[in-house]
């Protein structure tokens, strides 16, 4: 499994005493059944590996997005305009999007909320708030109109579990 070099912990852009992100290569290697995992610069995707498809060998690509990262890229057009076309060119129907994080649509207000500690709070990216329907409808449209497969995970560890399960599935003859 190849992990993109950018999938690492880094200094917070506004507070040098904090960090953001997770070193996904280290997390993958620390799994109870660690696979061979290597860093690699990817044009598209956070993870990739080769496997067995129904018609023969395939490359599998997985783009990883946090909820806030996904929302930012939806609003800016970066996901559909830049990242997904690269993912599809490289991996075709073996393209995956992992949406990472705990979120819900507030039943009363319709606003998208994310988990903060024990509480739920409106999801904000900068000064923008979001309606839960916006994100879910966008993901549904991607699944219906493109070869993209979408998976939701709650955190970095469950993302690693999913990547390993997917790798296992594609390793079968």
Q: What's the pLDDT tens digit per position in 139-169?
A: 999 999 999 999 999 999 999 999 999 999 9
Q: What's the pLDDT tens digit per position in 94-131?
A: 999 999 999 999 999 999 999 988 999 999 888 888 88
* Three-state SS at 168: helix
CB-CB contact of 117 with 102 (8 Å): no
CB-CB contact of 113 with 103 (8 Å): yes
Give the chain's largest Cα–Cα span: 50
Q: What's the pLDDT tens digit per position in 28-66?
A: 899 999 899 999 988 889 999 999 998 999 999 999 999
Among all chains, which residue has been given the structure tokens 């955190």? 155
- In this structure, are strands 103-105 and 112-116 parallel, antiparallel, or unpaired? antiparallel
C-alpha 123: how far from its chain's center? Answer: 17
Q: Enter the tokens of residue 115.
A: 């988990």
Q: 58 pairs with which residues across the strands?
A: 51
């Amino acid at each position: 499994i190849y992990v993109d070099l950018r999938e690492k912990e880094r200094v917070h852009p506004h507070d040098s005493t904090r960090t953001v992100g997770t070193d996904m290569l280290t997390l993958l290697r620390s799994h109870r059944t660690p696979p061979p995992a290597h860093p690699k610069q990817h044009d598209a995707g956070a993870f990739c590996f080769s496997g067995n498809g129904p018609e023969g060998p395939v490359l599998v690509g997985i783009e990883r997005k946090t909820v806030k990262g996904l929302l930012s890229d939806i609003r800016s057009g970066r996901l559909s305009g830049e990242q997904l076309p690269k993912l599809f060119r490289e991996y075709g129907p073996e393209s995956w999007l992992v949406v990472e994080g705990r979120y819900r649509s507030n039943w009363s207000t319709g606003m998208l909320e994310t988990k903060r500690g024990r509480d739920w709070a409106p999801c904000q990216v900068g000064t923008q708030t979001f309606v839960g329907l916006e994100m879910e409808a966008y993901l549904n449209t991607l699944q219906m109109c493109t070869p993209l497969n979408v998976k939701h995970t709650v955190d970095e560890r469950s993302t690693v579990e999913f990547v390993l399960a997917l790798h296992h599935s594609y390793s079968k003859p």
